[in-house]
Amino acid sequence: MHAEIPGSQVIWYDSMTNDGDVDWQNNLTCKNELFFRNSDGIFLNYWWKKEYPEMARRFAERLGKSGLDVYFGTDVWGRKTYGGGGFQSYQGVKEASSAQTSSALFGTAWTYENFGKDEFDKMDRLFWCGGNYIDYPPPSPANPKNEKGTESDDSEDELMHGHKKGITDTVSTIPVPGMNWFVTTFDRGFGERFYYKGKKLLSQPWSHLSHQAVLPNLNYRNPQVYPVDKNIKVTSSLESEYGAFTGGTSLIIKGQRLSHRESRDMESEVTVPLFKLSLDASKGCSIRYIYRTLLQDDIKLTMSCHFSLKTGQNETEADFFSLWKPESSVDKEDGFRATIATANLNESRCFLLPAMEETTGENDWIKKTIDIPAVPAGRALHLTRVEVSVSANTASLTSLTTQVIASLGYFSIIPTVSNSQIVNDSAHLTDLMWTDVAVEKETKDLSDIGNEDVAVYYGTLKWTDLTQVMHDWKETEFYKVSYREGNQCTFLGTSFCCQYRISGLKSIGSKVPEIIVEAVNREGHISSSATIDIFKQ
């Protein structure tokens, strides 16, 4: 498997033992050791006990492997699982993490299947992130205890000021993927409409979970507001109702007054934590974000990044900053905020870097680009945290209804590249062809011009994309498929592989439409395209 798919993993489920019998061990033992030795990890059955993770870690280390390769299972539906499952599933994850082993959650669709569609968003958030006790549904009177017959212990949660734990309260936040580049569109993989670069291509609900971007891994749902005004409530969420830049959702920052009483109308700053990263920016990078403000008043949206600095040998921080002098913003009230923390943690420098602004030409989205210069040789600069801040006057929140303040639709960090490194993408999409072709004929009454034959097309498009060997931000993210009749171009859908099925596409016989396949790279740009005539019978 490793040879066929580089980076893949094989995980063995704890069911069969070395002698071929089905006998769940619920731990790493000599009876399932053989499979653990010959795989990347083992997913243990759910009926384990509190002391098992520590035992398994020690056993794994004696075999020359890591305890992190042992995944302790939690059945979210309960069924004899450690902790009882449901909203208590965090207990199994906590025990496994404490012993430096891993967790495997089975049946996480419980938040949908058990509570239904209307409550899904809320229940899923409570499961993963926890929440106030009053937000949870009452426990079933028929099953006040877990499957093992023991009372659930929430005493630690009570110490968290009424906050009941979720999965994220029991594990540490890890940086998002990426060593020297990062791109997100804040897309959840579904929406009420589909957008590409702010332009609406589809006006109906859709779902395609391959479109889901890397979503914030910090507590973006609880923005910080300064100065504090208890009559103003500000929230941040990923929503589809207010449009998107690419895909179906964007990060929405909303505010409202809680009562009609007078509020201290003043300039407030809302800070939303977004991402923890560990990204090498030593060779310089270009940071780009795309947003729009939806209140009529003057709104300022600023991205802030935190960097960690490693200076050269025997070099002081002062020596470094005397050499590395990024251009500061002329407008001290606007720009990109960069905070550089030094290795000794006793000193940090804050820079307000100029942001080049341009409109995107679609639905008032604004694009800003910031250049972070390379540091001198022998030093290292890593990007560790990203936040977004919005400055707005609370006088803009004129009613008790929720009002959208701003929407963030795109954020990227791309390494600085020289002209010699830029690749010509014009010929990367090749060999576009049809297979499994079928055409049906219909007759359509066009009233004023008489009858016209209508062709109904079925077929599979296949093509080759040479960018798939790049494995960086220039690699194709997805393919946008459209068809064109004359001057009219209609969006059909997207694909994440080099095939797309056309099923039931109707066209008036006198017209010969073309199918257009466009490769969209991870920055959202069309890197190459190919066109083919609709097949003829």
Domain edges within the chain:
11-169, 182-420, 429-533
DSSP structure class, residue 376: P
Model pLDDT for residues 224-239, shown as the tens digit of each residue: 988 888 888 899 999 9
- The answer as to CATH 3.30.56.10 being correct for domain 11-169 is no
Bond preceding residue 141 cis, omega within 30 of 0: no
Model pLDDT for residues 244-265, shown as the tens digit of each residue: 999 999 999 998 888 876 655 6
The pLDDT of residue 109 is above 90 = yes
Mean pLDDT, the chain, integer = 86
Among 2.60.120.260, 1.10.10.10, 3.40.50.300, 3.40.50.2000, what is the CATH number of 182-420?
A: 2.60.120.260
The pLDDT of residue 423 is above 70 = no
The pLDDT of residue 466 is above 70 = yes
Encoded tokens for 428: 């990367």
The values of phi and psi at residue 239, to 5°, are -135, 155
The answer to which of 89-103, 259-273, 295-309, 503-517 has the lowest mean pLDDT is: 259-273
Confidence (pLDDT) at 147: 45
- Comparing 520 with 513, which gets the higher pLDDT? 520
Note the pTM of the prediction, 2 decimals.
0.86
Confidence (pLDDT) at 313: 83
Which residues lie below 8 Å from residue 401, measured CB to CB, with a gap of 6+? 256
Assess contact for 223 and 234: CB atoms under 8 A. yes
- Residue 141: which pLDDT band, with cuts at 50, 70 and 90? very low
CA contacts within 13 A on the Cβ side of 470: 19
Question: Which of 244, 234, 239, 299 lies closest to 272 in space, CA to CA?
Answer: 234
Confidence (pLDDT) at 537: 46
Model pLDDT for residues 385-414, shown as the tens digit of each residue: 999 999 887 777 777 788 889 999 999 999
Most confident of 111-125, 349-363, 508-522: 111-125
Q: Could you identify the residue written with the tokens 């023991």?
A: 150
Q: Tell me the Cα Rg of the chain.
A: 27
The Cα–Cα gap between 284 and 373 comes to 5
Question: Which of 429, 424, 430, 533 lies closest to 483 in space, CA to CA?
Answer: 533
Write the CATH number of the domain with boundaries 429-533.
2.60.40.10
- Residue 415: which pLDDT band, with cuts at 50, 70 and 90? very high
Confidence (pLDDT) at 35: 97
Confidence (pLDDT) at 84: 93
Model pLDDT for residues 335-380, shown as the tens digit of each residue: 788 898 887 666 778 888 888 888 776 778 999 999 999 999 889 9
Mean pLDDT over 258-276 rounds to 81
- Residue 292: which pLDDT band, with cuts at 50, 70 and 90? very high
The Cα–Cα gap between 117 and 191 comes to 15
Q: Starting from the edge strand earliest in sequence, which strands make up the sheet with 336-341, in order?
A: 224-226, 267-280, 380-393, 300-310, 336-341, 348-353
DSSP conformation letters of 167-233? GGGSS---PPS-SS-EEE----SEESSEEETTEEEE-S-EE-GGG--PPP-S-TTS-EEES--TTEE
